[in-house]
Amino acid sequence: MERHSAWDKIKDKKIVFRFCDEYIKYLDNSKTERLCTSYSRRLAEAAGFKDFDSVTQLKAGMKVYKINRGKNIVLAVIGKDKTETGFNLVAAHIDSPRLDLKQIPLYEDSNMALFKTHYYGGIKKYQWTAIPLSLIGVAVLQDGTVIDVNIGENETDPVFTVTDLLPHLAADQMDKKMRSVFTGEDLNVLAGSIPADCEKDKYKQTIIDILKEKYQIDEEDFISAEFELVPNFNARSLGLDSSMVAAYGQDDRVCAFTALKAIMETEKPQKTSICYLADKEEIGSMGNTGMQSRFFENFVAHLIEKQCKNYSDIMLRDALSNSMCLSSDVTCALDPNYKSVSEPLNSAYLGEGVAFAKFTGARGKSGTSDANAEFVAKIRKILNDANVAWQMSELGKVDQGGGGTVAQYVANLDIDTIDCGVPLLSMHAPYEVASKVDVYMAYKAYKAFYAAE
Ligand code: MN
Ligand code: MN
């Protein structure tokens, strides 16, 4: 198989750079699944999408969105064909690895106030120490009032950090195995160091006082809160040629953004187009905001019901069976510093376009949906006809490790599904790297897929 740089297909590089300027803005506004959901809604509304619940009758060409519990959004453009004949779905996820505050987080030790955390998703713990973190999330009061908190993203805000040991005293630490250098319980976040004027828990009390004054939050409100610590630094162009994007959370907001852009530009498609931006992929897609939730099926049921007067369950079943899906999630680009974990013939390469994977999984393809050859052929044709730069890939060497995506849960609904997405370097690190041309090619692929009949 000959390999080609995707840049060779680009006549005017400015188009790619401009596209990625928008992508960078999207990342900076989407550091949590909640922020990503509300920013995606803003963009969708500006592109003419209406709240699904406010529409009673759907007709071809109409654009709608529905939000699930503030953390997951689905968008659709109604096709000329009935939805029962199948829809074209792109599914990506908008949750990323991070540190979550525990439900009882606040304590003090050695003249400092600290927050206990429980990490979310697969992280290398040492990467999350000694970097600036923003605290973003919501506290929900007993009366249902939702208090938005965002500390760190504004330039004048303070930030947070998890401390690390100085090299001068790290003799014991340096001898440890990487896995055991930091335990989960070591990832405590520094939150303050001024004592309050009281007898007990002086340092903790200062933090409680500030939270009360600025946010009307009491200590007990942490119980019904979702606070996430995410990297404070913003997305930037990377390299002398500015050919790459370095940022937190590109897994998988790079596929979310490209899928969203593609559906926003889809007008009167033959098949109904759906873009699903899921939560909870990084921890197994469980729960009612993850891809395993019935929320998706319920949405499709209502989509059909709002187009006809005689809705029946068999119409939903037919719609699912006749559909196809791109499970769009990032993959590993071959890293010149860590070549030994990848098999060169079947690796994704940075700058060679959007990467497809027939299967994911680990140890003998365990835990994968494995796209059918007939479906892979169909997708190949769609991509080649649209002049998209794409590559076929596998995540690392056999038995080196592995991973999964939402693909298997979509495929279980009897939908033809294949994995695809943008290859990344430093995946799951606080600072991930993508090639701008791959980002652009993912968008081109999704646009072609939505237009397919
Ligand atoms: Mn992912
Ligand atoms: Mn991931």
Q: pLDDT tens-digit profile of 180-220?
A: 898 999 999 999 999 999 999 999 999 999 999 999 999 99
Distance CA 25, CA 9 (A): 25
Rounded to the nearest angstrom, the distance between the alpha carbon of 141 and the centre of ligand 2 is 31
Dist. CA 394 → ligand 1 center (Å)? 14
Burial 98-118 (b: 16+ CB within 10 A, else e): bbbbeeebbebeeebbbbbbe
Question: How far, in whole angstroms, is CA 443 from its chain's centroid?
Answer: 15
Environment class of 301 (CB within 10 Å of its CB; exposed 0-12, middle 13-18, buried 19+): middle
Question: Taking a C-beta distance cutoff of 8 angstroms, is the pair 350, 333 a contact?
Answer: yes
Q: Strand pairing partners for 107?
A: 114
Which ligand minimizes its atom distance to the CA of 283? Answer: 2
- β-pair partners for 368: none
Quote the pTM value: 0.97
* Ligand 1: centre distance to CA 164 (Å): 28
CB 441 within 8 A of CB 353: yes
- Ligand 2 centroid–CA 122 distance in Å is 7
Q: What is the CA(282)–ligand 1 centre distance, in A?
A: 7
Query: Nearest ligand to the C-alpha of residue 279?
Result: 1
Model pLDDT, residue 233:
96
Q: 327 CA to middle of ligand 2, Å?
A: 13
Look at residue 14 in the predicted model and tell me its pLDDT.
98
- The 8-class DSSP code of residue 443 comes to H
Å from CA of 91 to ligand 2 middle: 14
CA–centroid distance, 80 to ligand 1, in Å, is 32
Using the mean position of ligand 1's atoms as its centre, give its distance from the Cα of residue 107 in Å.
33
353: tokens are: 């376009």
Instruction: Identify the CA nearest to 74 among candidates 324, 295, 306.
Output: 295
Tell me, in angstroms, the distance from the centre of ligand 1 to residue 250's CA. Answer: 9
* Parts of the chain with a pLDDT under 70: none
Give the ligand at the shortest distance from the Cα of 429: 2
Please, what sign has the CA dihedral across residues 406, 408, 414, 417? positive
pLDDT at position 309: 87
CA of 265 to the centre of ligand 1 (A): 24
| Ligand 2 centroid – CA 71 distance (Å) | 17
The predicted pLDDT at position 296 comes to 98
CA of 428 to the centre of ligand 2 (A): 6
Sketch out the chain's domains with CATH numbers.
Answer: 6-96+248-451 (3.40.630.10), 98-231 (2.30.250.10)
Strands 225-231 and 98-109: antiparallel
Q: What pLDDT is recorded for position 146?
A: 97
What local confidence, expressed as pLDDT, does residue 155 receive? 94
